[in-house]
Amino acid sequence: MHLDHSHPHAGATVGADAHRPDGTRRALRIGLGGPVGSGKTATVAALCRTLREELSLAVVTNDIYTREDAEFLLREAVLPPERITAVETGACPHTAIRDDISANLEAVEDLEDEVGPLDIVLVESGGDNLTATFSKGLVDAQIFVIDVAGGDDIPRKGGPGVTTADLLVVNKTDLAPYVGSDLGRMAADAKTARGEMPVVFQSLRSEAGVTEVALWVRAQLAAWTA
Amino acid sequence: MTTGVRATARIVARPDGRGGTALPVLDGDGPLALRRIRAHGDEARVMLVGAMSGPLGGDHFTVEAEVAEGARLHLASAAATIALPGQAKGEARYEVRIGVADGGELRWLPEQLICAQGSELYVATRVDLAPGARLVFREEQVLGRSGEEPGRLGSRLTVRIGGRVVLDQELACGPGAPGGWDGPAVLAGHRALGQLVVVQSEFVDAPVEARLLGEGAALVPLAGPAALVTAVAPDALRLRRVLDEALAALAPACHG
Amino acid sequence: MSRAALFVLADGRFPAGGHAHSGGAEAAVKAGRVTGAASLEEFCRGRLHTTGLVSAALAAAAALGVDPVELDGAADARTPSPALRVAARKLGRQLMRAARATWPSAELDALAREFPKGAHQPVVLGLTARAAGLGPEDAAYCSAYESVSGPATAVVRLLSLDPFDATRVLARLAPELDRVADRAVEAARGVVAGGGVDVLPAASAPMLEVGAEGHAGWAVRLFAS
């Protein structure tokens, strides 16, 4: 076998390297985490529909049971199937996005190789719990999605997702009156937990839908490519 | 102390120049007798006839077959081979060496090998194929005759195509084999196991698709122009049924 | 070299993707062949003496500096199930990433270039041990242990098995792990002594092969293999 000392980074890149093996800048990677049923997959689907005309997108899902979320996205046809990859997580999605990110990195890189060039890869976590956050070795920015129906005390309880995510999304605001959630209190608690970091209240059923989150994503991309 | 029996049988198949296959070498020896039976088209057919029981402990049997370019050979056996405990010390060895040249074809379809209680047998099979050779190879092993404990069996099957090893499989089971051989990862209580190897250059462009064949068997493409069926079954009959179905599906012309 | 590097490499938290694989345990659990600690132990014992031995010998040979491309071919021939070949290459690729980040080495770089989609995991493991300054015994132990620790961890999740029972299973297998590692290293030294890769063990496990093909076709599963 030929041993070559001149290309220490030939082949697969390691960790959070911002460049691909050929020297080009890789796609921006945005993680979406949050509890089960908070609307991560629906937010991913809405982002794809909003951004797909102007940007080259791909999605990686991390499911507890293989492929559920990927199959939802495929059924909804938010992107061509070759742009959606499901990572198998051995029942531990938080491990796959935080402690051992190798399978996700491979999925992201394979997407760039096979359907690239890409502007953004959205990496969706399996619905796990409030402590699941993405490794900085995997994503450049992360969105944490909670919903009003999960209880209006979630922002107050905090946890790494709520306090450290680059964007906190409080989803399903249209349900607030029905589940007795106090949006004002959630906003105040989020402010206490997060300081100046942004929070978006959204209802995907409203006219505005995912617009605000999409704006935030565009701003991240502008900063990444600057 | 008695020493075991050494016996070698050799077959060489060549085109006979008239569109058929000649057998210039057909040498049986002691317990390994060979009979030429009626040809089937351009294919020569040979029957391996066990002239006495065995192999017994300490015996060393070798069967060699060479198929030259353009020749076609079919080998069958008259009955199952039964490994039995012998008076001689040590395990019995059964070696099979097969070579097939480009454009040659071998169908190796003997009956089962049965490892009777108390027997110790090691079977080594080495198949060397030229890149354009065709092969259908079946081996079936049964642990113990009906209702008895298994004997000890070790086996290794190696298949090379153009010098490259595409399949190398060892199995060790029965009393004294490394632990877990009858457990859920290896045989899971099954007493009959078999492999069917089919090699043909068509698989270069169109490899078989992996699929299950019932509960205890799978058809898989190897890393080369070859397909393998691995099967386990409760008994010889059910094993043969699975392998026959696979054979009919994989190489229809070769069935029977 | 530092022997302590072995702990880094053998740590179940070493980020090389193993947590998503059950080593055939998920298929065995679903088929009702592994139902508790006793059957897990028999499963692990069988896997150790087959796949475990083969992997350990490949890893030891790679650690000794045997050509990894030849070893990869030997691994292919010893892995008839395409589902298991795919899993082994996936895990090899993931380990390669972790290894290059942890113990940068020209040999690892070269193997990564040769197999951009991954070489068989035991081969990468052996070369990683080499890059970490470890020897063939270390590589063999690491690989043999992985062959049983993976299924044991998976069965804890699959059956909610008492984790102490699973750990006891692993401890009870320790003497056999020693023997398997010894045999693996001996075989690997035989390769270097002139026997070539053909002298490496090729012990097979039919139920693992068949089970892996079935598992690969499931629509819903917890583990990748």
Residues A6, B114: Cα–Cα separation, whole Å: 59
Dump pLDDT digits (tens) for A92-102. Answer: 888 888 889 99
- Residue B146's pLDDT is 87
Residues A142, A138: Cα–Cα separation, whole Å: 10
Residues C104, B81: Cα–Cα separation, whole Å: 55
C80 at the B interface (CB within 8 A)?
Answer: yes
CB contact under 8 A, C206 and B193: yes
Q: How confident is the model at residue A132 (pLDDT cuts 50, 70, 90)?
A: confident
Closest approach of C94 to chain B, Cα-based (Å) = 21
- Residue A16's pLDDT is 62
Rg (CA), chain A: 18
Residues A100, A135: Cα–Cα separation, whole Å: 9
Residue B51 confidence (pLDDT) above 70: no
Q: Confirm if B210 and C60 have CB atoms less than 8 A apart.
A: no
Dump pLDDT digits (tens) for B98-117. Answer: 999 999 999 999 999 999 99
Structure-block tokens of residue B194: 């078999």
Q: Is B174 helix (H, G, I), strand (E, B) or coil?
A: coil
Dump pLDDT digits (tens) for B187-231. Answer: 999 999 999 999 999 999 999 999 999 889 999 999 999 999 999
Q: Confirm if B23 and B44 have CB atoms less than 8 A apart.
A: yes
Residues B154, B91: Cα–Cα separation, whole Å: 10
Tell me the average pLDDT across C54-76: 98
Q: Which of B156, B181, B210 comes nearest C213 by C-beta?
A: B210
Residues C72, C57: Cα–Cα separation, whole Å: 12
- Residue B254's pLDDT is 46
Residues A216, A51: Cα–Cα separation, whole Å: 12
Percent with pLDDT over 70 in chain B: 96
Residues C211, C27: Cα–Cα separation, whole Å: 6
- Residue A21's pLDDT is 73
Residues B76, B170: Cα–Cα separation, whole Å: 23
Is the sign of the CA dihedral C197, C201, C204, C208 positive or negative?
negative
Phi, psi dihedral angles at C168 (to 5 degrees): -65, -40
Residues C150, C21: Cα–Cα separation, whole Å: 7
Q: Is B232 helix (H, G, I), strand (E, B) or coil?
A: strand
Percent with pLDDT over 70 in chain C: 100
- Which range (A129-138, A180-189, C6-15) has the least confidence? A129-138
Q: Which of B166, B167, B184 comes nearest C39 by C-beta?
A: B184
Residues C74, B168: Cα–Cα separation, whole Å: 8
Structure-block tokens of residue C69: 């491309």
Query: Could you give the C-alpha distances from C18 to A200, B50, C82, C102, C138, in angstroms and in order?
Result: 37, 50, 18, 17, 18
Tell me the average pLDDT across B5-21: 94
Residues C61, C59: Cα–Cα separation, whole Å: 5
Contacts C43 to B, Cβ<8 Å? 180, 183-185
- Residue A118's pLDDT is 96
Q: Confirm if B170 and B155 have CB atoms less than 8 A apart.
A: yes
Query: Could you give the C-alpha distances from C132 to A86, A138, C5, C142, C152, in angstroms and in order?
Result: 32, 25, 6, 13, 27
CATH number of C33-210: 1.10.4190.10
- Residue A2's pLDDT is 46
- Which range (A156-165, B9-18, C139-148, C174-183) has the least confidence? A156-165
- Residue A138's pLDDT is 94
Residue B155 confidence (pLDDT) above 80: yes
Residues B148, B111: Cα–Cα separation, whole Å: 20
- Residue A226's pLDDT is 84
Q: Does A39 appear as a known binding residue?
A: yes
Rg (CA), chain C: 16
- Residue A7's pLDDT is 41
Residues B28, B63: Cα–Cα separation, whole Å: 9
Structural domain boundaries in chain C: 33-210
- Residue B54's pLDDT is 77
Closest approach of A2 to chain C, Cα-based (Å) = 7
Residue A1 confidence (pLDDT) above 50: no
| 3-class secondary structure per residue, chain A | CCCCCCCCCCCCCCCCCCECCCCCECCEEEEEECCCCCCHHHHHHHHHHHHCCCCCEEEEEEECCCCHHHHHHHHHCCCCHHHEEEEECCCCHHHHHHHCCHHHHHHHHHHHHHHCCCCEEEEECCCCCCCCCCCCCCCCEEEEEEEHHHCCCHHHHCCHHHHHCCEEEEECHHHHHHHCCCHHHHHHHHHHHHCCCCEEECCCCCCCCCHHHHHHHHHHHHHHHC
- Residue A151's pLDDT is 82
Residues A96, C155: Cα–Cα separation, whole Å: 18
| Reported ipTM exceeds the 0.90 cut | yes
Higher pLDDT, B212 or A154: B212
Tell me the average pLDDT across A102-120: 94
Tell me the average pLDDT across A86-93: 84
Residue A10 confidence (pLDDT) above 50: no
Dump pLDDT digits (tens) for A41-62. Answer: 999 999 999 999 999 999 999 8
Pick from C203, C156, C164: which is nearest to C47 by CA? C203
Phi, psi dihedral angles at B119 (to 5 degrees): -80, 155
Phi, psi dihedral angles at A144 (to 5 degrees): -110, 125
Helix (H) / strand (E) containing B24: strand B21-27
Q: Is C197 helix (H, G, I), strand (E, B) or coil?
A: helix
The overall average pLDDT reported for chain C is: 96
Higher pLDDT, B47 or A154: B47
Residue B255 confidence (pLDDT) above 50: no
Tell me, rounded to whole angstroms, the distance of Cα B76 from its chain centroid: 10
Tell me, rounded to whole angstroms, the distance of Cα C195 from its chain centroid: 23
- Residue C117's pLDDT is 92
- Residue B102's pLDDT is 97
Q: Confirm if A132 and A93 have CB atoms less than 8 A apart.
A: yes
Dump pLDDT digits (tens) for A207-222. Answer: 899 999 999 999 999 9
Nearest residue of C to residue B213 by CA position? C210
C13 at the A interface (CB within 8 A)?
Answer: yes
CATH architecture of A28-225: 3-Layer(aba) Sandwich (3.40)
Q: Is B100 helix (H, G, I), strand (E, B) or coil?
A: strand
Contacts B167 to C, Cβ<8 Å? 77, 80
CB contact under 8 A, C44 and B180: yes
Contacts B220 to C, Cβ<8 Å? 80-82, 209, 213
Touch between A and B (at least 3 CB pairs under 8 Å) = no
Structure-block tokens of residue C162: 């008492």
